[in-house]
Amino acid sequence: MNDSDRNPANSGCIGFMWISGLFFFIPYGIICLLNGNTGWGIILLIIGIIFLLLSYFTQKEYDDEKEKNKWD
């Protein structure tokens, strides 16, 4: 198995989650909050933050595993 095949950032899913969280859910959540629609604003912000955290920790787990296997 090629090393790039195992990288979750190359799968497209993690990149999609990062981009949609940063450039869609969080900005539209802020816009909803500023317009007074607090329910949708909070929901969109939470989804955006979850997407960013999932993509970050998935990539971090891959990098840690790669670093560990480098010295084996």
Average pLDDT per 10 consecutive residues for the chain, totaling 72 residues: 56 79 93 95 95 85 76 65
Which of 45, 1, 55 has the alpha carbon at shortest distance from 25? 45
What distance, in Å, lies between the first and last C-alpha atoms of the chain? 17
Specify the pLDDT at position 5.
Answer: 54
Three-state secondary structure call for residue 72? coil
Specify the pLDDT at position 19.
Answer: 87
Measured between alpha carbons, how far is 16 from 9 in angstroms, rounded to an integer?
9
- pTM comes to 0.73
Give the contacts of 51 (CB within 8 A, at least 6 positions apart): 17, 18, 20, 21, 25
